[in-house]
Amino acid sequence: MKKAVLLLIILVNLSCHKKQNEYYLYHNLKGYSNKTRVNQEFLTGYKVDLVGFFKEANHKQLTILLDKNTTDSIVENYKMAIHIFNKESRAFTKKGFYICDTSPSMHTFGESKYLINEISIPGKKIDSIILFLYDKKGFDGIKGDKILLKNINF
């Protein structure tokens, strides 16, 4: 009986946490404290306004708020590289950073457009993240500008 009650409490807590995150997504991350203003373009028409950092039950989430004029068609033309640097990565990877390559897809919450990426890394602090785009057919150099994020806490 105690296990069932404990499980119910955990499930309700996770459900409320997820609904709270959705509230912020519908409102352009307004009022959410763990975010960074970026206001930078990868390419013309592919602009990042903000990046939010959410901690879920068993993973972390990098949530990229795109400019309202960014379209699905431009997002789908590129893959995104996410290079994550932190003290733990130096100990566990040969290159000294984690690489998360993704084929981003746009998620819409109300009028807000996002790229949402789950990342699995140890620790609560990230020294820096570098984001960049490359051709969806394969890496043939960086397309456009890199975006650098520093001193991130989950």
For 85-131, write each residue's pLDDT tens digit.
Answer: 877 655 556 677 888 889 998 999 999 999 999 887 767 788 889 99
Q: What is the mean pLDDT of residues 130-150?
A: 94
Q: What is the pTM of this model?
A: 0.81
| Edge-to-edge strand ranges of the sheet holding 35-43 | 35-43, 46-55, 60-66, 112-119, 106-109
Q: Number of C-alpha atoms within 13 angstroms, CB side, residue 13?
A: 8
Is residue 38 within 8 Å of residue 48, measured between CB atoms? Answer: yes
Q: What is the mean pLDDT of residues 63-80?
A: 95
